[in-house]
Amino acid sequence: MHSRKLVPLMLATSLLAACSMAPTYERPAAPVPSSFPDASMQTVGAKPAAAIAWREYFTDARLVGLIESALANNRDLRIAVQKIEQARAQFRIQRAAQLPNLGVNAGFSRSRSLPQGPGIYESDSVSVGITAWELDFFGRIQSLKEAALAQYLSTEESRKAAQISLISAVANGWLALLADETQLQITRDTLQTRLDGLKLAQLSFDNGIASEIDLRTAQSLAESARAVHAQQRRQRAQDENALAVLLGTPVPPAAIASGIDALGGAAPIADLPAGLPSDLLIRRPDILAAEQQLIAANANIGAARAAFFPRISLTSSIGTASTDLSNLFDGGTRAWLFAPQLVLPIFDAGANIAGLDSAKAGREIALAQYEKAIQSAFREVADAQAGRATLNEQLDALRAQVNAETTRFSLVDLRYRNGVANALDLQDAQRSLFTARLAAVQTQLSQLQNQVTLYKVLGGGWSAEP
């Protein structure tokens, strides 16, 4: 066959290779109810959380700086980015298999065959050609390319999910440190008050005014506050270490200089609309990543089915060949090669059937993982809704309790100093006020962290900034 006829043949075979044996992909129905339990969050026409950039949601300049540092230095996010590059390269490798590889081959050989005489035979050649290019008649390579593309897109969505998790973790870690600061201040104040009370109880005991029971009770309260203070210092150090790992750098002291009461507008007060479960399918990167894995598994079935059919490959070249290197490019040395090859599977001990069964099982696994991702997302949003509906009410109640306990302590302290109330009444008021103040701070932390969580589970934090 003349070499000029090879190009039309290759183009024709490429057009014939457009078929695919992969099942037609259809997005599965969401295995969750059509609406969230809290219907009040389903605001029609409101801007979805996934469309709100994190700079719009977190307005405190200190927190913005921490998030910027984390996005620039966090190692887990770097790993996610490099996984994208790796998946992109794998897709490019698989896509390249659809096109012929053109290369230059140069060879030189010398041989001697004694039965035919003592002469030494030489062969030299230079050629340009295609080596073992598979003609994808049954879509095997196309299916593998589609699977590689889906894997690449899945890693891109996973990176977005990693960014969402990182931003949420930084915000929650920062809020926890602010709460630690406030709780430490409360405990320091309480410890000082109880130490002062212990001195007064000791003085009263020494003068025979108070009993030893009053003295030991005051001592117990002081030591209890000291133990809580040590525990909170340890918790604060651990929270700071955890935040430093997320940031990839030490935590700036100025970022945690004030307590949670001075937070101001670090987190938005306005409610976020939840939308419908179908919005999660479109917006949440972890669900999109799971869907891309399902698409990849679906494409692998096409590659496994194509393995049952003949595999046709083409090797061709054109160049020069000569028995003498000095005459390699002289006239009359032109040479060409056209060598198609067909491999038809006849008996493979069930390997192809097993490969197809494995691909089908892989698709069922990916389907279950996709549905589980949707169900988990639905529960996360519903839990955050429940927290938003109750934490505000709980915080209001605890703040009212703190006000009541503060007034009660002031009154009991006044009565005690005037000899009307006994030491046990004063110590009980101190204990109740301390407990109520710590509970209010912890609930305020939970309420703010729930706002961060709601933003996260609704898919916020990855959209491109304006």
Q: What is d(CA 264, CA 280) in angstroms, rounded to the nearest whole number?
A: 30
Task: Return the pLDDT at 11.
Answer: 47
> In whole angstroms, how large is the CA radius of gyration of the chain?
37
pLDDT one-digit tens code per residue, 143-190: 888 888 898 898 888 888 999 999 999 999 999 999 999 999 999 999
DSSP state of 466: -
| pLDDT tens digit sequence for 43-80 | 556 677 888 888 888 888 888 899 999 988 888 888 88
For position 39, what pLDDT does the model report?
Answer: 64
**Burial state string for 192-225 with b = 16 or more CB within 10 A and e = fewer than 16:** ebbbebbebbeebbeeeebeeebbebbbebbeeb
Strand order of the sheet with strand 334-343?
A: 102-112, 120-135, 311-322, 334-343
List pLDDT tens digits, range 209-238. 878 888 888 899 899 999 999 999 999 999
The C-alpha atoms of residue 138 and residue 20 are separated, in whole angstroms, by 6
Where do the H-state alpha helices sit in 109-211? 140-206
Return the residue matching tokens 């003498």.
324
Q: What's the whole-number average pLDDT of the chain? A: 82
* The most confident of 3-17, 40-54, 94-108, 353-367, by mean pLDDT: 353-367
The pLDDT tens digits of the residues spanning 240-277 come to 999 999 998 999 988 888 778 766 544 545 567 666 67
